[in-house]
Amino acid sequence: MSYTIEIVDRHKEVEAEEGQDVLNALLEGGVEWLHACGGFCNCTTCRIEVKEGMENLSEMQEDEKNTLRRFQGDEVLDGPFRLGCQAEVYGDIKISEPEWI
């Protein structure tokens, strides 16, 4: 089964297989997306802002929480942000690139 990832700020869509992480779906769909550590949850360059469908992503694990905290601070966990390399797709989602770096 596949789902749609809509990148709202780029006016693009890609398909993701069930359980595929967002970063790999974007890259396989021809969308350039930063990912400095190669998708190993060691940085936050692949972060996404989830506009719709947070419930259609896998639950955030401790590694992802710790990485986000380390680079962005505790408050980032209260927002709609995920690491693309860790968030697995289980339904349609809409995302954008966060404005913060």
If you average pLDDT over residues 31-38, what whole number do you get?
Answer: 94
Find out whether 46 and 34 touch, Cβ atoms under 8 Å: yes
- CATH code of the domain made up of 2-96: 3.10.20.30
Region of 15 on the Ramachandran plot (φ > 0 left; ψ -120 to 50 alpha; else beta):
beta
Nearest-angstrom CA–CA distance, 85 and 91: 16
Query: What residues are paired with 13 via a beta bridge?
Result: 6
pTM score, whole prediction: 0.95
Span 44-88, pLDDT tens digits: 999 999 999 999 999 999 999 999 999 999 999 999 999 999 999
Span 6-25, pLDDT tens digits: 999 999 999 999 999 999 99
Closest CA to 1 of 99, 98, 94, 88: 88
